């Protein structure tokens, strides 16, 4: 398993095996995506939308219906001060 050590400046060198697996080259950008369990996932920013499929999946949670999704979006918008905007 590849391991990296952080410097005093907060920098790490991504091990070659990981760079190769993620197709990272000089100048590549990566995103650190926080998962529900508090862990992080490193995702190459050069990827496609398909790379995110299943990223936030929680097998213990029942899928939401379209109505539940719409309600959650409306509730989130109202809480953030977007009430009444169309």
As a whole number of angstroms, the longest Cα–Cα distance in the chain is 52
Q: Is the pTM of this model over 0.75?
A: no
Q: Which two tokens stand for residue 65?
A: 């219906």
CB atoms within 10 A of CB 78: 11
Per-residue model confidence as pLDDT tens digits over 23-73: 898 888 898 888 888 899 888 887 667 777 777 777 888 888 999 988 888
Q: How far is CA 16 from CA 19, 28, 39, 75, in A?
A: 5, 14, 22, 45
Any idea where the domains of the chain sit in the sequence?
Answer: 16-79
Three-class secondary structure of residue 53 per DSSP: coil
């Amino acid at each position: 398993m590849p391991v990296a050590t952080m410097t005093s400046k907060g920098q790490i060198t991504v091990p070659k095996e990981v760079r190769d697996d993620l197709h990272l080259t000089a100048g590549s950008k990566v995103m650190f995506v926080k998962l529900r369990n508090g862990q992080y996932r490193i995702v190459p920013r050069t990827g496609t939308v398909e790379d995110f499929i299943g990223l936030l999946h929680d097998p213990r949670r029942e899928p939401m219906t379209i109505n539940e999704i719409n309600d959650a979006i409306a509730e989130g918008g109202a809480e953030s001060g977007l009430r009444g905007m169309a």
